[in-house]
Amino acid sequence: MEARRVEMQSSSMHSTRGRPEGSRPITYLVMIMSKAPTRDTYLELQSAYDFFNNTLFENRLPPCLITLQREKHTYGYFSSNRFVERSAGDFTDEIAMNPSYFGIRTIEESLSTLVHEMTHLEQQHFGKPGRGRYHNKEWGKLMLRVGLHPSNTGKPGGKMTGDQMTHYIISGGVFEKACAELITTNFTLSWIDRFPPIRPSAPLLMPKGINGGDEDEDEDEDDYTSGYSTLSPEPPAFTLVFPVDGKETRTKYVCPLCQTAVWGKKNLVLLCGSCESKPSFVVSKKKSGIDQDI
């Protein structure tokens, strides 16, 4: 957002009649919204989806809902029929992207995650997905066709099938060429996380005078495992769940001698360790601000 000073005259001063000689126009400070991060981010992801759908998938993939999710150790995921339109009842799939990694991976790498999930969407609609999270051979062939090589390690030689899979970009492949074409159109992922989950090998591009702070200075990088793209389980058939009044799930117990109170599930038999005679706790019910034994 930027501020601009704009000189304007009030309606009573449109004519020179009655205006003191030499008077000056009124100056207003006008705040102009020059950036819209939400709009920019989703337009960029949608334009990338449309571009790859046209260049890599023959424009046959249906629309989906692209979301931003901070799933731990995950670059992205696909979920079939995750959303339903409130009025018409139409379903749509979800492709989730993790924005935490946008600043520490190249744009090409981030977009390869998008295409990875697009192959899951393709298989869901035109093929036979594996059970649950399993990435099967058919999916692997779809990945190779778009220039991404399945690998559970993200490197050559890794397994091409399994529950947890990532990939690497095939040098000179169709994805690499298509991505290069897209990026030459001044495409970018404009907004990046200032506090990524791992310390980047190179400094993040930050405006002058801004830094990422030192919140992660003591973070143990050995605890981090490589991010995987995961295929989430298919959600159950759409069911509209209405909220219900909350019910107390814990019971309050009170020692009749020292009034020590504890909470737990119903029908517990508890003895007070603070009192010498070790009396049994009794159930207490709070009513109108008064604890009443029942």
pLDDT more than 70, % of the chain: 68
Query: What's the order of all strands across the beta sheet hosting 91-97?
Result: 65-68, 91-97, 74-84, 228-231
Asked if 2 and 18 touch (Cβ cutoff 8 Å), the reply is no
CA-wise closest residue to 258 among 275, 234, 283 = 275
CATH number for region 37-185? 3.30.2010.10
pLDDT digits (tens, 9 = 90+) for 246-284: 455 678 888 888 888 888 877 888 888 888 777 777 777
pLDDT digits (tens, 9 = 90+) for 63-116: 999 999 988 788 999 999 999 999 999 999 999 999 999 999 999 999 999 999
Tell me which of 23-37, 79-93, 143-157, 264-278 is least confident: 23-37
Helix, strand, coil % in the chain, rounded to nearest 5: 25, 25, 55
| pLDDT attached to residue 279 | 75
* pTM (2 d.p.): 0.62
Give, as one character, the DSSP assignment of residue 218: T
Tokens of 8: 């304007």
How high is the mean pLDDT of the chain?
Answer: 76
Q: What one-letter code names the amino acid at 34?
A: S
Domain ranges of the chain: 37-185
